[in-house]
Amino acid sequence: MLEASGMNKKQKIAMTIARIAALILLLFVIAYVFVRIKRDPELATAENIVKLISQNKIIATLEFTVLYLLKGISMVFPSAVINIASGMVFDFPLSAFISGFGIFVEFMVMFLIGRFLGNDYIQTIKTKYPVVEKVDNFQTNNSFFVSFLIRIMGVISYDMASLYLGASGINWLGFIAGSMCGATLNIIVDGLFGKYIFNPFSWQLWAVVGIRLLVIIIAIFIRKVIRNKCVTSM
């Protein structure tokens, strides 16, 4: 659950209720998928997994969007899990579009919740993740840059990042533009991983894994640069 050192009692209760409700709904979805696959093991194959969702693309997109929202509010697992699931179910680039739309909605809702939590929540995040404050100090006047860096670095989850940025009062347009730019590479890589996960010996899968490792290395490098910048500017 959220640490509530900087949150008042009403905020803590509201967030706890929302997280529990979202978690319960997620568990129902997981149980539904488990039961369907247990009854019909063929649904776990690359050809048939798409049958777990609506055949109507618009409804299917909304189904995944709801999953992103529930995941965001409950904060129980990273967005990569749903990104990969999208890649398993839909052909690329449709999977990237559906994941992008779902993450866009998730970002917006969590940003608004952050606005509700207000400035008191900022200290909670900074205490738990000191590097966030360093990013903030590194470029406090550029909402796009801060949002992009926090996403690309992966220092905190998408959910907490959106809450933090919303609570900090940054410009909405800079937030959503920077956040989506920072998340796009992960959306694409995760979607392609899901696409090829049924073929573990294919060169495409291992190429995606290589790109993922490269992204991690770049993120670590960026964190180090920011830490050094902050130290030298003190």
Please say if the pLDDT value at position 51 is more than 80: no
The range of the structural domain enclosing residue 208 comes to: 9-233
pLDDT for 57 equals 83
pLDDT for 80 equals 85
Domain count within the chain:
1
Between 72-76, 119-123, 142-146, the lowest mean confidence (pLDDT) is in: 119-123
Residue 176, in any domain of the structure = yes
CB-CB contact of 13 with 166 (8 Å):
no
Please say if the pLDDT value at position 70 is more than 70: yes
pLDDT for 100 equals 93
Please say if the pLDDT value at position 36 is more than 70: yes
**pLDDT confidence of 182, banded at 50, 70, 90?**
confident
Residue 2, in any domain of the structure = no
Residue-averaged pLDDT of the chain: 79
Please say if the pLDDT value at position 54 is more than 50: yes
Residue 59, in any domain of the structure = yes
Between 25-29, 170-174, 226-230, the lowest mean confidence (pLDDT) is in: 226-230
Question: Mean pLDDT across the stretch 14-20?
Answer: 79
pLDDT for 138 equals 55
Give DSSP secondary structure letters for 172-189.
Answer: HHHHHHHHHHHHHHHHHH
pLDDT for 2 equals 45
Residue 194, in any domain of the structure = yes
Residue 132, in any domain of the structure = yes
pLDDT for 5 equals 46
Residue 4, in any domain of the structure = no
Residue 117, in any domain of the structure = yes
46 or 142, greater pLDDT: 142
Residue 1, in any domain of the structure = no
